[in-house]
Amino acid sequence: MRQFECSKQIEEFKKMCDEELQTHISKNADYGPFNILATGDIGLVVRMLDKVLRLANLLGFTIKAEFVSYKSPKEPKNESIDDTLKDISVYAKIQRIYRKGLWGK
């Protein structure tokens, strides 16, 4: 497989990972590991689903039980699309750590 040098892309990826680590450290200091330990996989799935549905809403999708439709994107008032994407990414990492049995250790 041919590798392409994408230094700006890699630099941005690392910057995002560093930001997510800082978010994780600060939120873990506020909440500790127990809210995740109390609900486990299902709690993490629900948290990520909330974020995915918020993201879909901010991007202009209407989610209904029967089908998905699209309308123009909304301008967020309290949480940006980037904040929502960062939260989803952090929750995915938390779930990976939880599933390895390392959460709270």
Is residue 15 in a domain?
yes
Is residue 104 in a domain?
no
Q: Is the pLDDT of residue 68 over 80?
A: no
CB atoms within 10 A of CB 69: 10
Q: Is the pLDDT of residue 62 over 90?
A: no
In this predicted structure, what is the pLDDT of residue 96?
95
If one counts the domains in the chain, the total is 1
Q: What percent of the chain has pLDDT over 90?
A: 61
Is residue 63 in a domain?
yes
Is residue 105 in a domain?
no
Q: Is the pLDDT of residue 95 over 70?
A: yes
Phi, psi torsion values for 70, nearest 5 degrees: -130, 140
For range 16-27, the mean pLDDT? 93
Is residue 1 in a domain?
no
In this predicted structure, what is the pLDDT of residue 6?
83
Is residue 52 in a domain?
yes
What are the pLDDT digits (tens) for 25-55? Answer: 998 999 999 999 999 999 999 999 999 999 9
Displacement of CA 35 from its chain's centroid (Å): 16
In this predicted structure, what is the pLDDT of residue 52?
93
Run of H or E residues at 69: strand 68-70
* Full residue range of the structural domain in which residue 90 is found: 7-99
| Contact (Cβ atoms closer than 8 angstroms) between residue 88 and residue 48 | yes
* Farthest-apart Cα atoms in the chain, separation: 45
DSSP 100: T
Is residue 48 in a domain?
yes
Joined tokens for residue 17? 């990972």
Is residue 2 in a domain?
no
